[in-house]
Amino acid sequence: MAAARGWHDVVDKLLQWHSDVEARNHAGNTALTEAAQAGHTAVVRLLLANHAVVDPRNNRNETPLLLAAVSGREEIVDINVGGTITGIPRQV
């Protein structure tokens, strides 16, 4: 829920407490999926920096990149497409 709402500080604290970055909700969405779909760029960057899997598929076989694209979240799409293999965004 914190990632979906864009609560960067809460997500950061949860990660510091070693919360599972790949935990899923009832729809099979990870925090990265929720943040990407909602357009929370800072949270997406934080999750990727903490080694979130870039392309997890939810129960409907959707990825964060797909959901960001259909939601019009261009900056999120740019992060995903421009990222490295590890999913950490390139610094330009």
pLDDT of residue 89: 44
Residue pair 63/28 in contact (Cβ under 8 Å)? The answer is: no
pTM, two decimals, is: 0.86
Q: What pLDDT score does 82 carry? A: 63
Determine contact, residues 76/68, Cβ cutoff 8 Å.
yes
Cβ pair 16, 60 in contact under 8 A: no
> Residues 59-84: pLDDT tens digits?
999 999 999 999 999 999 888 766 54
Q: By residue range, what is the domain housing residue 57?
A: 2-82
CA-to-CA distance for 56 and 28, rounded, in angstroms? 9
Domain assignment present for residue 88? The answer is no
CA dist 79 and 77 (Å) reads 5
Query: How many domains is the chain built from?
Result: 1
Q: How confident is the model at residue 8 (pLDDT cuts 50, 70, 90)?
A: very high
Q: Tell me the per-residue pLDDT of 26-44, one tens digit each, with 9 for 90 and over.
A: 999 999 999 999 999 999 9
The CATH code of the domain that includes 74 is 1.25.40.20
CA distance 61 to 51: 21
- What is the percent of the chain with per-residue pLDDT over 70, rounded to a whole number? 87
pLDDT for the residue 45: 95
Residue 92 lies in a domain: no
Is 76 domain-assigned?
Answer: yes
Q: How confident is the model at residue 85 (pLDDT cuts 50, 70, 90)?
A: very low
